[in-house]
Chains A and B, each alone.
Chain A
Amino acid sequence: MSEKSDTILLKKSSRSWLRYLFANWERTQLVISFALIALVGLISAFTKSPYVLGILVLATLYAFVGITWNIVAGFAGQLLIAHVIFLGIGAYTTIVLNNRFGITPWLGIPAAGVVAGLLGLVVAFITLRYGLKADYFALFTIALLVTLKTIFLKWKFVGSALGLWLQLGNASWKNMIFSTKEPYLYIAMGLLALGVIVQYLIYRSKTGKYMLAIREDESAAAALGVNTSLYKTLAVVIGAVMAGIAGGFYVMYVAFVEPPQVFDLGFNVEIVMASPIIGGLGSLAGPLLGAFLNKPLAELIRGMLSAETSGTSLIIYGSFLVLAILFLPRGIAGALQDLYNKIFPHSADDLPGGD
């Protein structure tokens, strides 16, 4: 009899444990996100192939970059189309600090975040000062991308059109230079885990709710006490800082940067926009779902097509985007949410935001 009650207890406790993890859709997405990161770790434990590991590094980084844009465009609804400028500025900051001043990337990457954040502040200030909203805001950021590309093409100190090769020190954790891909993957996974947590905390906080309010209706938000200028600025700066950090890591990984590579709308679609849009813009798990689907699939197809046709990956991303927008307007996460709602019908205590 005691055995029987024990099993019941066990069943009950395991059920409450599940209940806790899947109590609401937000927390469920957190579970999905960490499961995906764990899956990456698992795959890396079973393969030594630099090709596979390389794809995983980039997919993980793309997921992180997707989160940075998701906060600006998905939460706050700001059409920061050329978000890749922050990544580019971050990449240049880190590599210039490393090459010209011998500063370790462990400081260079945070510095990239700061510089990108300052650029974000400038973008927010100018667009708010001149009332550029929605499509005008989008056009302004694209104009800024073209401007930055031109400046960096002419600027000798940052290598002008030739770009910069990372000056390699000894392979070590101190220099963030490694002879194998695993350490890069671990750093990318750490970055992504951090991004997932930051995004979740923002989403749950007052700041996050205010961003959603601005996205849904700016006037209504203002009437309810939301300082819309302040929170738009906050969204852009948070996204910029995180993208700058991503850029710093990116340049350490690919060891090279040139203006047409980072200040490019095609690259922007690939690294910034594709993952959140396909995964579900504004959702929490979307950037990860999108990145871990897109990147491996695009690489697979790139491998199958002949190597001499450059730009095929862009066709792939373009097609994915069109298909996603047509058939999954709320992305993969949206479809999963519908499934979730079917499995766990709403009850009053499962309201989002509860503990």
Chain B
Amino acid sequence: MICREGIDVTLLNVQGITKAFGGLVAVHDFSLSMDPGQIVALIGPNGAGKTTAFNVISGFYRANSGTVSFNDQNITHLRPDQICKLGLTRTFQVVRPFRGISVLDNVMIGAYSRTNDARVARSKALETLEFLGMLPEAGRLASGLPIAGRKRLEIARALATEPQLLLLDETMAGLRPAETDEVIGMVRKIRERGTGILLVEHVMRVVMSLAERIIVLHHGEKLAEGTPDAIVQNPQVIDAYLGEAHVEG
């Protein structure tokens, strides 16, 4: 990552990916490109294909066509663990903590992607927990965390893999406003470290306060792309999504 600093590098370059399940085309000819350290938001109504796009980018689904490259390396056919090792990782919409083990162990598992040494992984995990203000919870079982804690754990674990690009899938869903603000602060801190963030989000307040660029998906296709200000004024977007979002609250 550092070796290419200063030159025009595309962190993530998605070219015309299509993913179909049987006859249902979830994502059609979708493209997206991101520079290092950017925050980009992917929004759209339920079923628009946001999570499917995430799954293709992070290696969980294989695209029917199109390519995904990360730091100019083609990762279209790599497994999620290989993609993670290259510096791209994701969180899940429905949180998936390793319930039966401690918060510290959860984060250590992320840290182990960069080391084989238990001491190094442990100190990296503790450092990550401290960075996110979760140190007091380190010894707790992950299953004992409340929902907000689990969401934060999901981010901490992913962060411990030292990603250059973090995919956050609806991290704020189900959180109270105060908790949401806390996570927004977390995301900002992560971005300050130079980590690029691609987020899927329904909470428009979050999207507007974080994203530098917004991409709107609708029926699996890109409807619009632009700055937050441009997007909220785009009549097509208001028609397809934002009107609906305002009704939701």
Give A contacts to B, CB under 8 Å.
204-206, 209-210, 212-213, 215-217, 219-228, 282, 346, 348, 350-355
- Specify which chain A residues have a CB less than 8 angstroms from the CB of B81 in the assembled complex: 222-228
Q: Chain A: which residue is nearest B89 at the CB level?
A: A223
Interface centre among B82, B96, B157 (most CB of A within 10 A): B96
Q: Which of A205, A217, A227 contacts B98 (CB 8 A)?
A: A217
Which A-chain residue is minimally distant from B140 (CB atoms)? A346
Q: How far is the CA of A225 from the CA of B157 in the complex (A)?
A: 11
Interface size class of chain B, counting residues whose CB lies under 8 Å from the partner chain: 35 or more
Shortest CB–CB separation between residue B216 and chain A, in angstroms?
Answer: 25
Closest to A216 in B: B98
In the complex, which of the residues B119, B139, B160 contacts A350, with contact meaning CB atoms closer than 8 Å? B139
With a 10 A CB-CB cut-off, give which of A205, A224, A282 has the most chain B CB atoms: A224
- When the two chains form their complex, are residues B98 and A351 in contact, meaning their CB atoms are under 8 A apart? no
Is B174 part of the binding interface, using a Cβ–Cβ cutoff of 8 Å?
no
Measured between alpha carbons, how far is A227 from B138 in the docked complex, in Å? 25
Which of A223, A282, A346, A354 touches B58 (beta carbons < 8 Å)?
A: A223
A222 and B105 within 8 A (CB)? no
Task: Identify A223's interface contact among B84, B99, B112, B122, CB under 8 A.
Answer: B84
Interchain CB contact under 8 A, B121 and A219: no
Residue of A with least CB distance to B126: A351
How far, in Å, is A352 (CB) from chain B's closest CB?
6
For B37-63 the 0/1 string (1 means CB < 8 A from A) is 000000000000000000000111000
In the assembled complex, how far is the CB of residue B151 from the closest CB belonging to chain A, in whole angstroms?
13
Q: C-beta contact mask, B80-99 vs A, less than 8 Å → 1, else 0?
A: 11101100011110001111
Which residues from chain A contact B97 at a C-beta distance below 8 Å? 216-217, 220
**A220 and B98 contacting across the interface, CB-CB below 8 Å:** yes
Nearest Cβ distance between residue B79 and chain A, in whole angstroms? 7
Least CB distance from A221 to B in Å reads 7
A212: contacting residue among B85, B89, B101, CB under 8 A:
B101
9 extra A-B contacts, CB within 8 A, seeds A220-B96, A223-B58, A223-B92:
A204-B118, A216-B97, A223-B89, A225-B110, A228-B81, A351-B102, A352-B105, A353-B105, A353-B118
Query: Chain B interface (Cβ within 8 Å of chain A)?
Result: 58-60, 79-82, 84-85, 89-92, 96-102, 104-105, 108-110, 112-113, 116, 118-119, 121-122, 135, 138-139, 157-158, 160-161
Q: How many A-B residue pairs have CB under 8 A?
A: 102
Instruction: Report Cα–Cα, A204/B119, bound state, in Å.
Output: 11
Judge whether B84 and A225 touch: CB under 8 Å.
Answer: yes
- Please give me the residue from chain B that is nearest to A226 by CB atom: B81
B138 with A224: CB separation less than 8 A = no
User: Inside 8 A of A206's CB, which chain B residues have their CB?
Assistant: 112, 116, 118, 121
Q: Is the CB of A225 within 8 A of B96?
A: no
Question: B101 — which chain A residues lie within 8 A by C-beta?
Answer: 209, 212, 216
Instruction: Report whether A212 and B100 are in contact in the complex, using a CB–CB cutoff of 8 Å.
Output: yes
On chain B, the residues within 8 Å of A224 by CB distance are: 81, 84, 89, 109-110, 113, 157-158, 160-161
Task: Name the B residues within 8 Å of A355 (CB-CB).
Answer: 119
A222 touches B79 (CB 8 A): yes
CB distance from B148 to the nearest CB of A (A): 18
A242–B102 Cα gap in the complex (Å)?
28
Once bound together, how far apart are the Cα atoms of A220 and B160, in whole Å? 13
Measured between alpha carbons, how far is A209 from B118 in the docked complex, in Å?
10
Residue contact B104 to A209, C-beta cutoff 8 Å: no
Which residues of chain A are within 8 angstroms of B89 by Cβ–Cβ distance? Answer: 223-225
Closest to B103 in A: A351
The answer on a CB contact under 8 Å between A209 and B96 is no
| Residues of A close to B109: CB separation below 8 A | 209-210, 212-213, 221, 224, 226
Return the chain A residue nearest B116 by Cβ.
Answer: A206
A225 touching B118 by the CB < 8 A rule? no
Q: Complex: how many Å from CA A228 to CA B112?
A: 14
For the complex formed, measure the closest distance between the CB of B157 and the CB atoms of chain A, giving whole angstroms. Answer: 6
Shortest CB-to-CB span from B168 to chain A, Å, is 12
